[in-house]
Amino acid sequence: MEGFESLLGEHLPALERFVKFRIANRHDAEDIIQEACIKAFAKRDTLKDPASFKPWLIAIARNLCRDHYRAAAGRDELSIDRVPEQKLTVGIHGRAEEPPVHEAMELLKQEEKRILTLYYLKGMKQEEIAERLSIPLGTVKSRLHNAKTKFRKAYLDTIGKGETTMKKMPKIMPEYSIEKLNAEPFDVKWEELMGWFIVPKVGEKLSWAMYDFPERKRTELCEMEVVGRAEVHGIEGVEIRSVEYDPMECNSAGGQDKVERRLIAQLTETHCRMLAMSYTEGGVKRFYTFLDGDAFLDNWGFGEDNCGNEVNFKRKGDIVKDGPSVTTADKKFLLDIVGRYKVKINGREYDTVCVIDHATYMEGEKVTSEQYLDRNGRTVLWRRFNHDEWEFARYGRRWTEMLPDNERITVNGETYVHWYDCITDYVL
């Protein structure tokens, strides 16, 4: 095939993203990327249509990744992380048990967990299990049947715990107050999909709304629901149906007053991230995945190689907040806990930590947000601040002129103006 080198150069970033999403160890990932390139070169004459180069290259990488995990499974004793009709969840940080699966497994007896592990994860035949455990074949069949029955019931019960019911969002933002506490901020398990507030687990539902200040009027309403399991380029997650009413111009998909999106997100023990997004515009359904480079990462990704936001979140010291003054380290992906706060909203009181996100989306955009998380890792309040000259060419005025009465903060000595807030039905 002619033009191999130019095609490889064009699609190498997609190959790297694909492999790094699936392989935890960076050195292993680099080895697989190199091996994929070598195999592609060796087999280049088998590809007749250059238009199929990208999926052909990804298929080579997928097989190498599978070989990598088969070899790892042969070396290590792994706890069960897949069940009948379910696939292994693999992400940038390697194997990840879904919390409902792990919780359901913990409800089983040790012998039940062991036989499920041997049969499903190790792929052993019943005769092999009988020999391995030194028990009759009939006993293996009986134990396996009972273990599967108990697991399915425990798993369904566990899934049911996550179900929620959406509540109607008010048209006017409830009054709230924020009080700095003289106490150390706590670590938090934050499983929400960053920017969307929903936890990507089967059974989860959520409504959230946006409120412009100073009027405090609701300007956008979003209803979300996890509708099932999904897979993108061999990486498993969940599918989320999102319906946005009266969306902001940038989210309106061509001026629509109601936009339905489908999001694919993945939650592991360490990170939560977006894998894909689709919506319909002008009668055309558009799809974007993590392999689509900046077209996806600038709008839907977060973190190095789109690793997502950390689930086990701790204070790093990258951002410091002293009253209305914020200072940050000189680095990318600035997301940090800055203190402990008591938030009173809608007649309730919450012990929270404040997470500040500074200019993480679309590098160079001077936007800062405050997100108040309670001990359950759920958002109580989210507040957005714009740099005084943000989108000046578009609006023709500074934000201090457009919103003269709104709260102001300084970030690294520059003025930012409060624009809008978001709350979810969690606080209603």
DSSP 79-120: -----TT-PPPEETTEE---HHHHHHHHTS-HHHHHHHIIII
Task: Give tens-digit pLDDT for 382-405.
Answer: 999 999 998 888 888 999 999 999
**pLDDT for 102 beyond 70:** no
The 10s digit of each residue's pLDDT in 33-85 is 999 998 888 888 888 788 888 888 988 988 898 888 777 655 443 333 333 33
Residue at 418 is within a domain: yes
| pLDDT score, position 84 | 34
Segment 397-425 mean pLDDT:
95
Selected residue with higher pLDDT from 363 and 227: 227
Residues 138 and 259 in one domain: no
Query: What CATH number has the domain bearing residue 40?
Result: 1.10.1740.10
What's the pLDDT tens digit per position in 166-179? 568 999 999 999 99
For residues 356 and 391, membership in a common domain is answered with yes
Domain boundary among 99, 130, 161: 161
Query: Are the beta carbons of 388 and 398 closer than 8 angstroms?
Result: yes
Q: Is the pLDDT of residue 285 over 60?
A: yes
User: 3-state secondary structure string, 361-384?
Assistant: CCCCCCEEEEEEEECCCCEEEEEE
Of the residues 43, 75, 107, which one is the last residue of a structural domain? 75
Q: Do 42 and 105 belong to one domain?
A: no
- Tally the C-alpha atoms within 13 A of residue 309's C-alpha that lie toward its C-beta: 27
Please, which pLDDT band fits residue 88 given cuts at 50, 70 and 90? very low
216 assigned to some structural domain:
yes
The residue that leads in pLDDT, 138 or 159, is: 138
If you average pLDDT over residues 362-391, what whole number do you get? 90
Residue 30, token pair as written in the block: 């680099």
Domain extent at residue 121: 90-161
Residue that finishes a domain, picked among 134, 161, 188 = 161
User: Is the pLDDT assigned to residue 152 strictly greater than 80?
Assistant: no
* Element housing 232 (H / E): strand 217-232
Q: What is the pLDDT of residue 363?
A: 53
Residue 424's CB is within 10 A of a number of other CB atoms, namely 24
Q: Which among 327, 335, 326, 313 has a CA at the least distance from the CA of 186?
A: 313
Say which residues have a Cβ less than 8 Å from residue 163's Cβ, sequence separation at least 6. 203, 204, 205
In this prediction, residues 339-345 reach a mean pLDDT of: 96
Q: How many CB atoms neighbour CB 69 within 10 A?
A: 16
pTM for this model (two decimals):
0.67
Two tokens, residue 114: 């062991």
